[in-house]
Amino acid sequence: MRINIIIVNIFLTSCFLLSSQEPVDLSKDPSTVSTPFYSGLNGYFSYRIPTLIQSKKALLAFAEGRKNSTSDFGNIDVVYRRSTNNGKTWEPIKILVDEDTIAVQNPVPIYVKEQNKIVLLFNVTSQSEHDILNKDYDPKDERKAFVTFSKDDGQTWSAPKNITKEVKLPHWRWHAIGPVHGIELKNGKHKGRLVAPVAISIAKGPKAYCMALIYSDDHGENWKIGAVDTNLTDNVQSNETTIVELTNGYIYVNTRDQNGGSEKKNRGESYSLDGGLSFTEPIIESNKFPSPIVQSSLLRWSTESSGKQNVLLFSTPSNTQKREDLIIMVSLDESDSWEILYKVHDGFSAYSDMVKLNNKTLGVIYETDNYKKIKFKRVKIKI
């Protein structure tokens, strides 16, 4: 089912000008780059899975602090750093959640502007992904989900609340929130709803990856399961997912294809037309994005209703076979078409996230140097 969401009077001239230009290479300019996380900082072997959010007075960068290796399982904490100058410098690292030797993973921040409230979702697990997918285990050892809040720009946080029963069905094995920022809906009858993507698996074994959306209608206090992808027969085995709200209130869904599609088709696309309660089907195998099999990030940059253009941004590595050469792509027609706008990093680059710092500056955080560093880059957006 193909949903036509293009507004008739989109900016055709702008689209033409954009597509006729070569991407701007920003990778050679170190003056706008800082390094909030790097191997050895505070005794951590590696930092991975970066996410970003901006509150009223601070920019917050979150990551998984991995004590002993780059492995996705082990002694892992959720850590963060604050910046009060748009990421030029960072305050000392803080540990947000440490469960001794158990893995704390997948920080997913959402900003509630009217309350200056940061909502942070995350997972806790005592088992590896391999064991969760392939072995039988006691329900008490399932992957768990939690939420915590800050109302003072990340200086203090509430005690984490276990929301596993609210956001995970009993038969789901894998359950990984994000890993990327969630969104607050701004339009339509679901205005104010918080929505976050979740990677799940719905059967035993390594070939049952799917994804879902979870949502909250009370600023993150309570959560429900919304749309769920359960189709294991289509061309996309969805996994890590990123979402953005369109100007008509629809949610655009862009997901990693876990096993990789055909050549140059490592991502899938879908929409939710009802505030995250259901997906349009099937998920469309997309060749619009030159991505490898990797997590990526979407961001709403501007809207026509605010006096600007309707602009969406997408960050991803740009080699279909390798995690390298991070780029920013742009859509001026509400996700129907995409063009490469900027090259952010040359060479190894993997997971990423984005935040709008001000009306002219984008913040991009990304993994690089074979997972030894997480860098942050300020990008001037000229659209």
pLDDT of the chain, 383 residues: tens digit per residue: 334 433 323 333 333 334 445 789 999 999 999 999 999 999 999 999 999 999 999 999 999 999 999 999 999 999 999 999 999 999 999 999 999 999 999 999 999 999 999 999 999 999 999 999 999 999 999 999 999 999 999 999 999 999 999 999 999 999 999 999 999 999 999 999 999 999 999 999 999 999 999 999 999 999 999 999 999 988 899 999 999 999 999 999 999 998 766 666 899 999 999 999 999 988 999 999 999 999 999 999 999 998 899 999 999 999 999 999 999 999 999 999 999 999 999 999 999 999 999 999 999 999 999 999 999 999 999 88
pLDDT of residue 281: 82
Q: Which CATH code of 2.120.10.10, 3.40.718.10, 3.90.1310.10, 2.60.40.420 fits the domain covering 12-380?
A: 2.120.10.10
> If 0-12 CB within 10 Å is exposed, 13-18 middle and 19+ buried, where does residue 80 land?
buried
Could you check whether the bond before residue 282 is cis, i.e. omega within 30 degrees of 0?
Answer: yes
Predicted local distance difference test score (pLDDT) of residue 11? 31
Give CA–CA dist 27/33, Å, rounded: 10
- Give the number of other CB atoms < 10 A from CB of residue 20: 8
Q: What is the pLDDT of residue 371?
A: 98
Q: What pLDDT was estimated at residue 265?
A: 82
Q: Are strands 311-317 and 175-177 parallel, antiparallel or unpaired?
A: unpaired
Which pLDDT score, from 0 to 100, does residue 13 have? 30
The pLDDT of residue 58 is 98
Q: Is 259 left (phi over 0), alpha (psi -120 to 50) or beta?
A: alpha
pLDDT of residue 260: 65
| Structural tokens at position 296 | 């990526």
Starting at the edge strand that comes first in sequence, how are the strands of the sheet with 76-83 ordered?
Answer: 46-54, 59-66, 76-83, 94-97
**pLDDT at site 203:** 96
SS3 annotation, the chain: CCCCCCCCCCCHHHHHHHHCCCCEECCCCHHHEEEEEECCHHHCCEEEEEEEEECCCCEEEEEEEECCCCCCCCCEEEEEEEECCCCCCCCCCEEEECECCEEEEEEEEEEEHHHCEEEEEEEEECCCHHHHHHCCCCHHHCCEEEEEEECCCCCCCCCCEECHHHHCCCCCCCEEECCCCCEECCCCCCCCCEEEEEEEECCCCCCCEEEEEEEECCCCCCCEEEEECCCCCCCCCEEEEEEEECCCCCEEEEEEECCCCCCCCCEEEEEECCCCCCCCCCCEEECCCCCCCCCCEEEEEECHHHCCCCEEEEEEECCCCCCECEEEEEECCCCCCCEEEEECCCCEEEEEEEEECCCCEEEEEEEECCCCEEEEEEEECCC
The pLDDT of residue 2 is 39
pLDDT recorded at residue 338? 98
